[in-house]
Amino acid sequence: MYICKVQGKCVSTIKDEHLKGCSLITMQRLNKTKGPVGEMLVAVDTIGCSVGETVLVTRGSGARAVLGAESPADMVVVGIVDTYDCN
Amino acid sequence: MYICKVQGKCVSTIKDEHLKGCSLITMQRLNKTKGPVGEMLVAVDTIGCSVGETVLVTRGSGARAVLGAESPADMVVVGIVDTYDCN
Amino acid sequence: MYICKVQGKCVSTIKDEHLKGCSLITMQRLNKTKGPVGEMLVAVDTIGCSVGETVLVTRGSGARAVLGAESPADMVVVGIVDTYDCN
Amino acid sequence: MYICKVQGKCVSTIKDEHLKGCSLITMQRLNKTKGPVGEMLVAVDTIGCSVGETVLVTRGSGARAVLGAESPADMVVVGIVDTYDCN
Amino acid sequence: MYICKVQGKCVSTIKDEHLKGCSLITMQRLNKTKGPVGEMLVAVDTIGCSVGETVLVTRGSGARAVLGAESPADMVVVGIVDTYDCN
């Protein structure tokens, strides 16, 4: 999984029916020293996180385990991170 | 998921039967500052997007959730992005 | 999916039974300006392409949708590209 | 799979129900010369490893083969590495 | 798939039950000019290859098609490469 920082929202009116009602957030991965790294990513938020929060994100079929097999999502927020260390 | 900019078309007459009738678009990912980044990618467009539009793209088994299990596609457009921010 | 240029063959006599009879090609991805980019990749060719041709390649479970669930292939050629543009 | 060094813990109180009770570790991949490389990753630890240990990590649907199909995890520790060489 | 060079062994006594009895090899991808590239990877060897040999490796669910759905492996050797060219 990735630890990411929620950095914004993505609004899409015309979208796949199985994404209707899903909140889409933009984010970047965080590295060992808690700085943003890598390119912007988009995930479905099922936890109710806010911009600025640090979250745990899963990818691929793990994402669809959360939302159901008919969901096309390939990234989902699966937790709000209280703390992490990486030395 | 990725936010991408539609940049062109891919035409393939000889192709897998489960891709017949599918519109194939070329695209690049967009970064936080709305610039293109990374290598060219190809997706099946089920939404009806046009060149120059910003779209939401899913990958892997999520793509096949949209097109059906027999589809070989590994990238599919699942939405047209109205707006996004990433700060 | 990726657009790739077929660059050669891979010969493997001792291989998984579900790859027996499969033609294995080597390739590189093509970028927006039609130049090769990234590392060498290997795919199963089910279309009958030749060295020098431009092809459409799918990855992961999409590849096994073409060859069958028991195939171990994770990359398959799913089309010969007539033309593509990416501006 | 990857060989990784366990470098810390990730604490997440608000998380997906299928991650409840799972121990989340932070880690980095190790390279041929046993140095850390690449970005920080997070895995579910089912083996009981400790910070500083070298572990074997699997990704994607392989991770869910360990934890069950309803688990959203996409990275799981599947072994403690005694030794490895890579010349 | 990747073409890789077998570069060593990984020994793990404490590991997932479905990896018991599996031979774990370390490797690096080979590029067009037959040189090692990218980071060290680990695969399950079902073919019986030796250090120094050139092998064909599959990833993700393709790997589990070889070892069975309960296997957590995400990389498996599926062939010994006799020759390859990539021009």
ipTM: 0.95
Q: Could you tell me which CATH class the domain C2-80 is placed in? A: mainly beta
Helices (H), chain B: 61-67
| Chain C to chain E Cβ contacts (< 8 Å) | 105
Q: Which residues of A touch B29 (CB under 8 A)?
A: 39-40
Percent of chain B at pLDDT exceeding 90: 99
The two beta strands, D75-80 and A75-80, are unpaired
* From A15, A27, A28, residue closest to B78, measured CB to CB: A15
Average pLDDT over residues B12-40: 97
For A23, residues 6+ apart whose C-beta sits below 8 A from its C-beta are A9, A44, A45, A48
Mean pLDDT of D54-58: 98
- What's chain E's average pLDDT? 97
Burial letters C8-26, b for 16+ CB under 10 A, else e: bbbebeebbebbeebebbb
The pLDDT of residue D58: 97
Do the Cβ atoms of B49 and B16 come closer than 8 Å?
no
Which residues, in sequence order, are bridge partners of residue D27? D6, D41
Report how far residue A59's alpha carbon sits from residue D71's, in angstroms, rounded to the nearest whole number: 12
If residue E8 lies in a helix (H) or strand (E), which one and from where to where? strand E2-11
CB-side neighbour CA atoms (13 Å) of E60: 20
Q: Does the distance separating the beta carbons of B60 and C2 come in below 8 Å?
A: no
Percent residues over pLDDT 70 in chain C: 100
Beta bridge partners of C24: C10, C44
**What confidence tens digit (pLDDT) does each residue in E47-73 have?**
999 999 999 999 999 999 999 999 999
Q: How far is CA C68 from CA B72, C13, E42, E65, E67, in A?
A: 11, 21, 25, 10, 15
Low-confidence ranges of chain C (pLDDT < 70): none
Residues of C in contact with E82 (CB under 8 A): 11-13
Distances from the Cα of E36 to the Cα of C26, E3, E41, angstroms: 16, 10, 12
| C-alpha span between D39 and A29 (Å, rounded) | 9
Chain D / chain E CB contacts < 8 angstroms = 105
Beta strands (DSSP E) in A1-87 are 2-11, 23-30, 36-45, 54-59, 75-80, 83-84
| Binary contact (B31, A39; C-beta < 8 A) | yes
pLDDT digits 0-9 by tens, A66-79: 999 999 999 999 99
Dihedral in degrees, nearest 10, Cα atoms B21, B27, B33, B35 = -140
Average pLDDT score, chain A: 97
- The band of A36, judged by pLDDT with boundaries at 50, 70 and 90, is very high
User: What are the sequence ranges of the domains in chain B?
Assistant: 2-80
The fraction of chain D above a pLDDT of 90, given in percent, is 99
SS (H, E, C) chain C: CEEEEEEEEEECCEECHHHCCCEEEEEEEECCCCCEEEEEEEEEECCCCCCCCEEEEEECHHHHHHHCCCCCCCEEEEEECCEECCC
pLDDT at D8: 98
Of C27, C64, C25, A63, nearest to B74 by C-alpha is: C64
pLDDT band of residue B43 (cuts 50, 70, 90) is: very high
> Alpha-carbon distance C1 to A78, whole Å?
27
Contact list in E for residue C11 (CB cut-off 8 A) is 81-84
State whether B84 and A26 contact (CB < 8 Å).
Answer: yes
Average pLDDT over residues E27-46: 96
C-beta neighbour count of A53 within 10 angstroms: 17
Of C61 and D84, the structure prediction assigns the larger pLDDT to D84
H helices of chain D, where?
61-67
Which chains does E contact via 3+ CB–CB distances below 8 A? C, D
Q: Which of residues 28-87 of E touch D (CB under 8 A)?
A: 28, 39-43, 51, 60-61, 63-64, 69-75
Instruction: Name the phi and psi angles at B20, rounded to 5.
Output: -60, 135
Backbone angles phi, psi at D65, to 5 degrees: -65, -30
CB contact under 8 A, A72 and B66: yes
What pLDDT score does D77 carry?
Answer: 98
What CATH class is the domain E2-69?
Answer: mainly beta
**Is the Cβ–Cβ distance between A27 and A57 less than 8 Å?**
yes
